[in-house]
């Protein structure tokens, strides 16, 4: 997502402006609701999201939660380094056990973490209970095929598109199923996320932003050493071609319409 063409297209798909990042769009969309006073970030990792939330005035305080004590230690260090010790707190805890004890939150954030949870109906019930009435759920997530849903037919289509790219930028012969065998929680029920959110919340905004081709094909490409470098036109041209094809697949109607692999959802506890 750091490739300049990819980043600009994601911004365009979510915000309507290639130069406007999703978090800033979200801040503007929330109007006088921001800054949120009491917020939670679930599956926070090393805290990139929390620092951005504070930096951009989206929250006045946030508690990040992650099961990894190592990630929490690094998140605390980075928050202190940024001068956000008062605004950001961290807890090393199981997210489900943590949420059971919470109530009255103004907003709860997920950024590339919700797709690690199973039992989505029950889990989002905990999220809903932790929010105050009209509290906000923000989820920027992979919502594509779950780890058990990568069929031979799906992979055949992806390999056909991959093989149509110039040979000098193809790094491998065949793209294999994008399953992380080292992490059994990765994409465990990802394809059910949107339905589960709709069952528990009122959707305010949903912004699909693709990734159907790039998330699988991009890692198999032979990339230039500096992706910000405008040189290396065959690589950049291939990326742009894949982005255009994604737009076609996700925008058209009918049998060949594809469901986006990534989506940003803003929902409200009814």
Q: What confidence score (pLDDT) does residue 232 get?
A: 58
Average pLDDT, the chain: 94
Given a cut of 90, is residue 256 above it in pLDDT? Answer: no
Indicate left, alpha or beta for 148 from its phi (over 0: left) and psi (-120 to 50: alpha): alpha
254 pLDDT higher than 60: no
Nearest to 243 by CA among 2, 1, 6: 6
140 sits in the region (left: phi over 0; alpha: psi -120 to 50; else beta) called beta
Amino acid 224: pLDDT: 81
Choice between 236 and 137, residue whose per-residue pLDDT is larger: 137
pLDDT at 253 exceeding the cut of 80: no
Q: Which helix (H) or strand (E) holds 193?
A: helix 193-200
Helical (H) or strand (E) element with 118: none
DSSP result, 227-258: TT-S--HHHHHHHHHHHHHHHHHHH--STT--
pLDDT at position 210 is 94
Could you report the per-residue pLDDT of 99-141, keeping only the tens digit for each?
Answer: 999 999 999 999 999 999 999 999 999 999 999 999 999 999 9
pLDDT at 25: 98
153-210: pLDDT as tens digits: 999 999 999 999 999 999 999 999 999 999 999 999 999 999 999 999 999 999 999 9
Question: Is the whole model's pTM more than 0.85, yes or no?
Answer: yes
Distance (Å, rounded) from C-alpha 212 to C-alpha 260? 6
The one-character DSSP state at 116 is: G
State pLDDT tens for residues 10-67: 999 999 999 999 999 999 999 999 999 999 999 999 999 999 999 999 999 999 999 9
Give 21 or 231, the one with higher predicted confidence. Answer: 21
Predicted pLDDT at 227: 63
Position 258 scores a pLDDT of: 72
What confidence category does residue 1 fall into, taking pLDDT thresholds of 50, 70 and 90? Answer: confident
């Amino acid at each position: 997502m750091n490739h300049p063409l990819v980043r600009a297209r994601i911004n365009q798909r979510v915000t309507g402006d290639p130069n406007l990042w999703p978090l800033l769009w979200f801040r503007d969309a929330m109007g006088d609701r921001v800054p949120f006073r009491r917020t939670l970030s679930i599956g926070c990792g090393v805290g990139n999201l929390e620092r951005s939330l504070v930096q951009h005035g989206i929250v006045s305080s946030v508690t990040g939660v992650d099961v990894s004590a190592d990630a929490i230690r690094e998140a605390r260090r980075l928050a202190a380094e940024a001068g956000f010790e008062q605004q950001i707190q961290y807890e090393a805890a199981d997210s489900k056990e943590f949420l059971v004890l919470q109530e009255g939150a103004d907003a709860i954030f997920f950024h590339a973490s919700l797709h690690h949870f199973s039992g989505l109906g029950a889990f989002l019930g905990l999220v809903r209970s932790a929010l105050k009435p009209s509290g906000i759920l923000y989820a920027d997530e992979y919502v594509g095929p779950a780890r058990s849903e990568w069929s031979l037919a799906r992979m055949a289509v992806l390999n056909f598109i991959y093989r149509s790219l110039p040979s000098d930028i193809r790094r491998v012969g065949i793209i294999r199923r994008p399953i992380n065998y080292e992490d059994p929680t990765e994409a465990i029920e990802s394809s059910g996320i949107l339905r589960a959110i709709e069952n528990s919340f009122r959707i305010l905004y949903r912004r699909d932003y693709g990734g159907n081709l790039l998330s699988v094909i991009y890692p198999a490409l032979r990339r230039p050493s500096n992706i910000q470098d405008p040189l290396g036109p065959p690589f950049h041209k291939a990326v742009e071609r894949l982005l255009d094809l994604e737009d076609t697949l996700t925008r058209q109607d009918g049998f060949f319409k594809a469901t986006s692999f990534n989506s940003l959802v803003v929902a409200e506890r009814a």
